[in-house]
A and B are shown apart, each in its own frame.
Chain A
Amino acid sequence: MTLDARRAAPAAVTPVTPAGPAVQISDVSKVFGRGDTTLQALDDVSLSVAPGEFVTLIGASGCGKSTLLNLIAGLDMPTSGEISTGGRGVSLMFQESALFPWLTAARNVDMPLRAAGVPRAQRRERVAELLDLVQLTAFADKRPHQLSGGMRQRVALARALAQDADVLLMDEPFGALDAMTRDLLHEVLEGIWRRRNLSIVFVTHEVREAVRLGDRVVLLSSRPGRVIGEFEVGFDRPRGMDSADTVDLAIKIKDRLREEIIRHGR
């Protein structure tokens, strides 16, 4: 302890950032292509996600949502600007489950643990715990093609959580599910988010879903993607997709979104 304290002493000049943002995006632009055929996907985007915050991103097509998530996940580099993610890293979940079809549900969840070099005995325990968290213990030995779309997304969620990152990026994860399954998964996700104190960046094109889940809804413009509005969602959880509060705010956001789309038609 004393040794640690002494070692930490010089760091006093730059504090250990105990309560810094989980994700800090500063003036980020992203341009694809070179020469005449360039596409500006993101233009000067700044966004900060607090630890434990649930941010939903919404925008019409071409707003660079997926590009932004790729940048945060470190799968791609911004053309300019800076992105920092504090803490234990970032995990990513897609609209398609992206499970490995040749592995069982349990082995899929196990893969990030193997990649991280976690010892075998510990892995088995963690996998069982994660499958239990998404209520798929009974389906541990099934392969992805034997599972329904909703189950696959739950396996994908468990696999993302296996990385033990404190930031979870979700790219329209429930976009392909039926309404009933989606509503249930909202509740599952909300429960996990709360218990695990995750920071979540959740991309969706469904405005009510954004309001249902987010502490804050961030609105992006299209071509190039730019932050054009932020809406704090003040009311209490758990919220319903169809509750009056949700619908009211969703209408407000949709109107703003429509203005943005009309601007492109001119």
Chain B
Amino acid sequence: MAVETPREPAAALAGLDHLDQAPPQQAKRHIGAKIWAGTWPKLLALVLALAIWELVYLSGFKHAILPGPATTLRNLWDQLHHALVWQAIGTTLRRAVIGFAIALVIGTVVGALVSRIRPLRAGFGSLITALQTLPSIVWVPFAIILFGANTSAILFVIVMTAAPAIANGLIAGADYVPPLLLRAGKTMGLRRVSLYRHVIMPATLPAFVNGLKQGWAFGWHGLIAAEIVVIILGQPSLGVLLTNDQDQADMASAIAIIIVILIIGIVVDVLFNVVNGRIRRRWGVAENAG
């Protein structure tokens, strides 16, 4: 091997850098293509489910009550041509967004405080996790007694189910900030607020977004459960439509509404996955997330 080392490492370094360069990344896909990539396997599953359903229908099981996919989808199609279902979707989504926004603020503040303050962490950490195990429906009686049967009660249920998940995501993320990055931050003179802003917060972001996704899912469960119970006159919601169908034993319509709820859930889930995948790629956490 060379005993004499060259004076100028520049040329050799440039050569190594060239060799070391990561292989060219896949061409960036359009956002629509990404959403499609996340959606089509779900659509396939949906088609399979429809096929099984059709088989059950053909078998004659509860034939008088259970409609086949054709009848149901026609019902759905008819409903989509009336304002009522769109009004209901509007009301439900508006509540979901408002409730989630409140949960976001509360969950973030609580999560930030609990993750940073040690005694709070010891006391409330497990309580917040425990709250997450609580079925969302248990908050409905509580909310109705507290607020009466109105929108506030519904929003309350969303907040109580979504906020713990959001707080938990933040706490979990803060727990896993690599100690080495904290050390590096401290060495370069970052302290308290600046350390939080420049190191802890960005390091926590992937776990936080994960918490948001979970919070949304829990909140959505709670919302529909609450809407089925809390019926406000003049405010049709997806939950109210389901209750009406139950009262009129209109199975085709009930299934049609379930499908609407399912589709909204899928779309939102895919949107979250796109955001999540972007962050993870940017952070270098996973090569092929999303």
Contacts and interface: CB of A to CB of B under 8 A. Distances in A.
Pair from one complex: yes
Interface of A: 73, 75, 90-92, 94, 96, 98-103, 111-112, 114-116, 135-136, 138-139, 143-148, 150-151, 159, 162-163, 180-181, 183-184, 186-188, 191, 238-244
Interface residues of B, number: 36
A98 B184 contact: yes
A187 B205 contact: no
A144 B181 CA distance: 13
B187 A101 contact: no
A187 B188 contact: no
Given A94-B180, A115-B190, A184-B12, A148 B17 contact: yes
Contacts of B1: 242
Contacts of A135: 10, 13-14, 17
B189 A145 contact: no
20 contacts: A94-B180, A98-B183, A100-B184, A100-B202, A101-B284, A102-B205, A116-B189, A135-B13, A147-B20, A147-B22, A148-B16, A148-B17, A148-B20, A159-B188, A181-B16, A184-B13, A187-B5, A238-B5, A240-B2, A240-B4
B131 interface: no
Contacts of B190: 111, 115
A92 B184 CA distance: 8
Contacts of A145: 284
B113 interface: no
A120 to B, nearest CB: 16
A141 to B, nearest CB: 13
Given A187-B5, A242-B2, 18 more contacts: A75-B186, A92-B184, A92-B187, A99-B184, A100-B184, A101-B285, A136-B17, A138-B17, A143-B282, A146-B284, A147-B22, A183-B5, A184-B12, A187-B6, A188-B9, A188-B13, A239-B5, A244-B3
A163 B203 CA distance: 22
Interface of B: 1-7, 9-10, 12-14, 16-17, 20-22, 180-181, 183-184, 186-190, 194, 198-199, 202-203, 205, 282-285
B194 A115 contact: yes
Contacts of B205: 102
A59 to B, nearest CB: 21
B16 A180 contact: yes
Contacts of A147: 20, 22
A150 B202 CA distance: 25
